């Protein structure tokens, strides 16, 4: 009598996520497609042929898969490094993805001066109203009330609000010749302010007040990947990021072509929202899962960390590109967007002000998110 060989299950990291075979396959396939488009440039999406359209769709699917792979492998790296350094790896990885795709959209064909602004606003609104609202709602329904490390969340919000106002509202109030923009000197100055404040926050998060950001619930992170798994995950993380960067231009071309078929009142706002949703999807799923397991502090570290990294690093990166290529970048928000962003900031302060959260505040956050989505199409 012969025994049936057991089929090995996909690896699981210490957070409970599974490292599926697709997380290894997607980055390799994405890099392969990027190489094929270099060898056969006639198939590039900007050529508008049937084959180019199909490859544009394939490129988008592979880029999304590579983004999911980035999060999966960064989770393993994060488990080895511990908190809060692990969350830092995740947020920085997502920032690299976002900058590469924004830059590709911004540089594709005609200049999109408001795209960086719309992308950063979309990240703020999707995370602080959509993802945070879903985390609070789901966590509240499953666990009634959840506790957070209030000092850590306050630290996130103080830096996010300061940078959000200085980079997205202040440009409308300066004496620059074009409303909503900084002069080149102001842009460089604010880029250094942004990076400097982010580095200061990292020092406080990882050294001075690490206990405010690294709180873990009992049973969370019960194991640690060995050296082999850590090395493989690190290599695959780099490959995944490289795959996203390599395919970003082709996805940008496909998005431009697709949205060009519709009469949108504000196409840059829709592009920014689609980009943010694509980039934030794996990170958002991780945050919602953590909240459902009653690890709300870890969930907020992921969500708010992504917003902070986006504001503090994406805008300086795009400012450098804008100055280098000599094309303007509009940062000042329109009145309705400014109102929604400030409203969301106030809601976050109220939701986390007591150190305990419930489902009601989650519902309010989600209502604001629904209004934001409506204004994307009917501004």
| pLDDT of the chain, 379 residues: tens digit per residue | 443 333 334 454 444 455 777 788 888 888 888 777 776 766 665 565 666 677 777 888 888 888 888 878 877 887 777 766 666 776 677 777 777 777 776 666 566 778 888 889 999 999 999 999 999 999 988 888 888 888 889 999 999 999 999 999 999 988 877 788 898 899 999 999 999 999 899 888 877 877 777 644 433 444 577 778 888 888 888 888 888 777 777 777 777 777 777 788 888 888 888 878 877 887 788 888 888 888 888 889 888 988 898 889 888 988 888 888 787 888 999 999 999 999 999 999 999 988 889 899 999 999 999 999 999 988 8
User: Two tokens at 309?
Assistant: 């990294």
Please report the pLDDT score of residue 6 as a whole number: 38
Contact 300, 156 (CB under 8 A): yes
User: How far, in Å, CA of 85 to CA of 158, rounded?
Assistant: 20
User: Two tokens at 6?
Assistant: 């057991």
Q: Which helix or strand (DSSP H or E) is residue 19 part of?
A: strand 18-19
User: How far, in Å, CA of 284 to CA of 136, rounded?
Assistant: 13
CB atoms within 10 A of CB 236: 22
The 3-state DSSP class for residue 107 equals helix
**Domains located in the chain, CATH noted:** 18-217+225-377 (1.20.1420.30)
Please report the pLDDT score of residue 7 as a whole number: 37
Contact 267, 112 (CB under 8 A): no
* Cα–Cα distances in angstroms (integers) from residue 228 to residues 71, 77, 225, in the given order: 18, 11, 8
Please report the pLDDT score of residue 87 as a whole number: 63
Beta bridge partners of 62: none
Indicate the length of the chain as a whole number: 379
Backbone angles phi, psi at 146, to 5 degrees: -130, 145
Beta bridge partners of 378: none
User: How far, in Å, CA of 371 to CA of 123, rounded?
Assistant: 15
CB atoms within 10 A of CB 69: 28
Contact 100, 318 (CB under 8 A): no
Backbone angles phi, psi at 174, to 5 degrees: -85, 175
Please report the pLDDT score of residue 8 as a whole number: 39
Please report the pLDDT score of residue 9 as a whole number: 41
Please report the pLDDT score of residue 21 as a whole number: 77
User: How far, in Å, CA of 223 to CA of 208, rounded?
Assistant: 26
User: How far, in Å, CA of 84 to CA of 73, rounded?
Assistant: 16
Backbone angles phi, psi at 357, to 5 degrees: -125, 160
Q: What is the SS3 assignment for 348-371?
A: HHHHCCCCEECHHHHHHHHHHHHH
């Amino acid at each position: 009598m012969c025994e049936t060989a057991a089929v090995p299950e996909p690896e699981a990291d210490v957070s409970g996520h599974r490292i599926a075979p697709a997380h290894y396959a997607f980055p390799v396939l994405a890099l392969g497609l990027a190489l094929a488009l270099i060898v056969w440039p006639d198939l590039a999406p900007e050529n508008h042929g049937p084959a180019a359209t199909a490859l544009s769709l394939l490129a988008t699917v592979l880029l999304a898969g590579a983004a999911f792979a980035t999060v999966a492998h960064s989770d393993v790296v994060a488990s080895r490094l511990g908190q809060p350094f692990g969350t830092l790896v995740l947020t920085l990885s997502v920032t690299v993805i976002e900058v590469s795709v924004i830059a590709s959209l911004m540089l594709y064909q005609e200049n999109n001066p408001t795209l960086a602004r719309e992308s950063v606003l979309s990240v703020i609104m999707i995370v602080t109203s959509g993802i945070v609202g879903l985390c609070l709602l789901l966590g509240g329904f499953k666990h009634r009330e959840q506790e957070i490390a209030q000092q850590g969340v306050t630290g996130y919000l103080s830096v996010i609000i300061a940078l959000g106002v200085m980079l997205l509202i202040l440009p409308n109030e300066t004496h620059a010749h074009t409303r909503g923009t900084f002069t080149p000197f102001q842009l460089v100055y604010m880029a250094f302010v942004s990076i400097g404040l982010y580095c200061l926050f990292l020092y406080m998060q990882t050294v001075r007040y690490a206990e405010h950001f690294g709180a873990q619930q009992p049973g969370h992170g019960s194991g640690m990947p060995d050296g082999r798994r850590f090395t493989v995950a690190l290599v695959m993380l780099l490959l995944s990021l490289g795959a996203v960067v390599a395919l970003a231009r082709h996805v940008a071309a496909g998005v431009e072509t697709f949205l060009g078929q519709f009469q949108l009142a504000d196409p840059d706002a829709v592009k920014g929202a689609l980009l943010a949703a694509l980039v934030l999807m794996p990170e958002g799923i991780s945050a919602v899962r953590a909240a459902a397991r009653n690890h709300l502090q870890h969930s907020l570290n992921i969500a708010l960390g992504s917003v902070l990294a986006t504001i503090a690093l994406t805008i300086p990166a795009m400012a450098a590109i804008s100055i280098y290529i000599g094309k303007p970048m509009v940062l000042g928000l329109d009145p309705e967007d400014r109102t929604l962003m400030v409203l969301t900031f106030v809601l976050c302060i109220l939701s986390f002000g007591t150190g305990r959260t419930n489902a009601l505040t989650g519902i309010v956050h989600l209502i604001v998110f629904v209004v934001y989505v409506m204004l994307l199409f009917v501004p």
